[in-house]
Structure 1
């Protein structure tokens, strides 16, 4: 089968013929019908994240936002069936550790990052193996388009978990979203659907215009203000109630924290680059004196995907609204490389693999 393979960091992915996967006893093979091209793929292609043991090895098939059709299951699989359409989370869990047993499979003690670990070849391929399929293959509602659901494995469910589960977000609260890439635009759309007033922050007008389409009430262009936190605070009155760093660089992290009012909550979704390597200086004293919370948010439990599905069914959420274009597998290497300049608006989705 054809797949996009990482041969050397920073060099174009190679479209290669590789062996088709075979299902483990507890696994399933999924024919990939769509896979989002996420900024996290760019991080892996660059060779980032060795500081959190998530740097993909050379020879890795990238891709971690898949939706597709189950074509084969292992002997021990009980709930997933051939022919089902499924989404697959990027943070694959074992279903057996204490966190999984307590309903926190998104922070599984033995998590395997799809497309980043040798044990979990990714979804820029015609077929994908899903380990512990009864836990990690999430059946999709009937009639949905796989392209629309491709982001559920990463950007969309990550933003949903951060705002709906991790933050204490109420209707009418002010939410600032710093960085309007795929996960940031998803956060804008979700915050709006949850009844918040949304301020989108970025330095590219086209991304801010897209944020307005998705429900942003106000926008801040970083290039047009000398002080981003002051601009956000002025728009929100006494500061944002919840602020999201959806990019993961030092400036967006600090700006997000300083945009908050008293008792505000900062939600960190973006992971850092080679420049920060996981370490960012934050305004500790201000956080103490204003009782500001710093909240990490990582993926989402597959057992809670139905919350998103119900909102989609009722027209309150539309994951496809963040999709910018569809591409074929041969275009994936160039699309990832183009993320060097942060110009991508929304999420490209690969939906042609053969």
Structure 2
């Protein structure tokens, strides 16, 4: 482990990142220092960079280090860390994936088994990077995994590029479908075919959905959705009439509407359309709208009179990450998982990576420190 490592400091929205050398901390008991090998540009990172996801609302302090969808190898183990969360031996050099947030374990939410709702949650991207342990986000050469975090040794044969999305996008959509109680033979509509949407397409099929419809405005992303298992793709840039799109869903579902609609775009104005696509007792799962302060009117009677439900899903229970790894193991030869990362950038090109992600010219940009 080097004495120092680079971090990409995030000082303020829309401001260029600065690469700065920081001292690499020795891990305290129960902690792990990970050498970051790849970190993706997730939608929430983009929202934070644009300024419409307020890190201060999570207790965040600037300057910080963005990035949370990452994987890497063990650089140093703190005292007492000998095994991963599956009980497998853990050593320096092992490829690992880990939760980017840690619950306190003591508050009422944690005691009720809801660590994703911990009253004192500690997350990547919220710490002041000028203070110890400095490596508080994925866009850096190292990441400090705090005591109490869930960490898994990655099964042999799973490439780092495939594992990169496990601890956010993949785990998040698994949690979303579980919260919605998606059942075999139900129908699913997915709003958005970015990284989350593509994972959601594959996961919906794995849950046994008989029909998966994906909506997006980018043709290349819809073509990718087909390769991930989508049965029908709707290009909203070509079919610009909301009523027409809703009617298509009705026709595809024999007049009922979809059992589950999952929102993965991060735009409030698409929510009413998604609710109208639902069948009686349908469940609307909101994951993408983390940009506080954005709103759009909708008629709540469409929920009440049709027995529909809305579910907001932030984070996931830590054991879901283990499910994500097993999903990757089972599907690494069946799905084009390697195609999810359409562009890699060295850490010193982080500003270009964010520019391309912002323009949606890439499905999932990634940084390779």
- The TM-score normalised by the length of structure 1 is 0.89
Change (3 A) 1:49 1:315: closer
Matched, 1:202 2:216: yes
Give the 4+ runs in structure 1 shifted more than 6 A: none
Q: CA deviation at 1:153?
A: 1.5
Q: CA deviation at 1:279?
A: 4.2
Describe how 1:99-248 pairs up with structure 2 within 5 A. 99-118=109-128, 121-132=136-147, 134-163=148-177, 165-196=178-209, 197-223=211-237, 224-227=239-242, 228-237=245-254, 238-248=256-266
Change (3 A) 1:51 1:279: farther
How many residues in Structure 1 have an aligned counterpart in Structure 2?
A: 347
Change (3 A) 1:104 1:334: same
Instruction: Check conservation: 2:268, 2:289, Cα contact below 8 A.
Output: no
Change (3 A) 1:66 1:321: same
Q: In the aligned structure 1, how far is the partner of 2:308 from the partner of 2:44?
A: 28
Matched, 1:97 2:111: no
Q: In the aligned structure 2, how far is the partner of 1:321 from the partner of 1:262?
A: 36
Which moved further from structure 2: 100-109 or 144-153? 100-109
Q: CA deviation at 1:15?
A: 2.0
Q: In the aligned structure 2, how far is the partner of 1:337 from the partner of 1:116?
A: 22
Q: CA deviation at 1:101?
A: 3.8
Cα deviation digits, residues 4-29 of structure 1 (max 9, x gap):
11123202212222222332333211
Instruction: Check conservation: 1:89, 1:152, Cα contact below 8 A.
Output: no
Change (3 A) 1:204 1:55: farther
Instruction: Check conservation: 2:169, 2:196, Cα contact below 8 A.
Output: yes
Which moved further from structure 2: 21-30 or 204-213? 21-30
Q: In the aligned structure 2, how far is the partner of 1:51 from the partner of 1:305?
A: 23
Query: 3-state DSSP class of the match of 2:96?
Result: strand
Instruction: Check conservation: 2:189, 2:261, Cα contact below 8 A.
Output: yes
Describe how 1:191-340 pairs up with structure 2 within 5 A. 191-196=204-209, 197-223=211-237, 224-227=239-242, 228-237=245-254, 238-273=256-291, 277=293, 279-315=295-331, 318=335, 319-340=337-358
Which moved further from structure 2: 44-53 or 262-271? 44-53
Change (3 A) 1:231 1:288: same
CA RMSD of aligned residues (A): 2.3
Query: 3-state DSSP class of the match of 1:207?
Result: helix
Cα deviation digits, residues 225-253 of structure 1 (max 9, x gap):
41232332332331111001101211222
